[in-house]
A = this chain, B = another copy of it.
Amino acid sequence: MRFGERLAERVRAMGTCGVVGLDPFLDRVPGVVPGASRAETADVVRRFCLDVIEVTAPLLPAIKPQAAFFEVLGSAGAAALEDVVAAARDAGMLVLLDVKRGDIGSTAEAYAVATLDDDGPIGADAVTVSPYLGPESLRPFERRVPAGKGMFVLVRTSNPGAGAWQADTGVAREVADWIASTAGDDELGPIGAVVGATVPAAEVAALRQRMPRAWFLVPGFGAQGAGPDEIRPHVRADGLGALVPSSRAVLFPPSGARDADPRSAIAARAAQLAADTAIDRFFSAGV
């Protein structure tokens, strides 16, 4: 089954489009000691992430590890990421690896092997990619679609500076049209778009119209300020089509506090995310 359909099946089965954002901030992960070696810290991060996976896998369909927070720990962090992705897949979660790679030719091919291939080191289900270098930067990832893999192309982010240098007019339209052309016979295709939660609703609606069968990965929910209302324009009339990652609001308590019992606290916050992003919530809104 192709990636977009696998994702639809899992989102329908779990009734939520919430995604665990796995951003293990070193100053927040319980047990990380300042001054410890990278290897020691990576072990603490690995154990924390494995706990997160164990308690959130029954609640949410997918997990989005942020590569940078593992790369900061060097080779020890890379080893932890490999273990964490394997554990998430074993637990039945789809793994959307947030790497935002963007290169061409043999380099882009190497990034695809490094992140997606099942006989490579990580073997994620999908990755985020940057289209800045042009269509050929996406091809190596696209070639993994028949193997069940997917990708989310940065189309329109909602960070303050996105309007300044991100060519949202021309590039977003061109990329959107290409994404729309890749859906094939799938109700929801294997290649999706990153479309920020706080992008103006009219712009989201236009992108949704251009890409009716694309998954939108929608950063900016929860700790970053957007709520269910901001997500509505991203969702299709059938309640599907948006994926809503939330990291800090699931992994850590608010305002820098520490969890007395991290596992049950994370489970409770993941359940809250599942409720906030229940697909029937969006479905009913669309009727």
Contacts and interface: CB of A to CB of B under 8 A. Distances in A.
In the complex, which range does the number of interface residues on chain A fall in? Answer: 35 or more
Contacts of A157: 104, 133-134
B170 A167 contact: yes
A74 B68 contact: no
Given A75-B121, A76-B75, A159 B114 contact: no
A244 B122 CA distance: 33
A230 B71 CA distance: 36
- By DSSP majority rule, is chain A's interface helix, strand, loop, or mixed? helix
Interface in A52-80: 66, 68-69, 71-79
A74 B121 contact: yes
A113 interface: yes
Given A75-B79, A100-B103, A174-B165, A160 B132 contact: no
Contacts of A164: 134-135, 174
Nearest to A69: B110
B132 A161 contact: no
Contacts of A79: 74-75
A272 interface: no
Interface in A117-175: 120-122, 130-137, 154, 157, 159-167, 170-171, 174-175
A107 interface: yes
Contact of A106 (B25, B110, B122): B25
A82 interface: yes
A152 to B, nearest CB: 14
A115 B113 CA distance: 21
A253 interface: no
Contacts of A286: none
